[in-house]
C-alpha cells in the first residue's frame, strides 16, 4: 500500500473514533469512508496486476495473496433456540436451522403450482409436425 492509501485509512479510523464519541457527524464519517473505499477499489486492481506480472520472480507473495482469498469460515457460531437455550453442538445447530428455515420440498409446494409445458402443449407449436 502506498502512503496516500494508509493516510486515508488513518483518517477513516479517526473519523470512526470521533463518530463513536459523538464528536463528528454521521455524514462526515460516511464521506471519509466512501473516499477510502473508492481509493481501495482503485488500488486493488493495480496490486493484483503487479502480483500477476511479478509471479515468476516473487511466487511467495502471489501464493500468500491467493491463500488469503481462499480462506473461508467453516464453523457457524453458537445459536439460540426458541426456548432461549444456547446451542453449540453441530447436530443441535442443524436442528435449530432446519426448524427456522423454510423447507423447499415437493410436499410443501403449493397445490396450484403450474405444470411444466412440453413441446406439444406450448403455444405457437405445430401439433402435427414431426422431426
List pLDDT tens digits, range 56-97: 998 998 889 888 888 776 776 777 777 778 887 888 888 888
Note the pLDDT of residue 31: 92
On whether the CB atoms of residues 61 and 51 are closer than 8 A, the answer is yes
Instruction: Report the alpha-carbon angle 71-96-107, nearest 5.
Output: 105
Percent of the chain with pLDDT over 70: 76
Read off the pTM: 0.46
Amino acid at each position: 500500500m502506498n502512503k496516500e492509501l494508509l493516510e486515508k485509512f488513518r483518517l477513516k479510523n479517526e473519523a470512526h473514533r470521533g463518530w463513536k464519541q459523538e464528536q463528528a457527524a454521521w455524514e462526515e464519517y460516511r464521506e471519509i469512508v466512501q473516499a477510502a473505499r473508492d481509493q481501495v477499489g482503485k488500488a486493488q486492481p493495480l496490486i493484483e496486476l503487479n502480483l500477476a506480472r511479478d509471479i515468476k520472480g516473487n511466487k511467495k507473495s502471489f501464493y500468500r495473496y491467493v491463500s488469503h482469498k481462499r480462506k473461508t469460515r467453516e464453523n457457524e457460531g453458537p445459536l439460540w433456540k426458541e426456548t432461549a437455550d444456547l446451542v453449540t453442538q453441530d447436530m443441535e445447530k442443524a436442528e435449530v436451522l432446519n426448524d427456522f428455515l423454510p423447507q423447499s420440498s415437493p410436499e410443501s409446494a403449493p397445490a396450484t403450482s403450474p405444470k411444466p409445458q412440453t413441446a406439444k402443449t406450448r403455444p405457437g407449436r405445430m401439433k402435427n409436425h414431426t422431426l
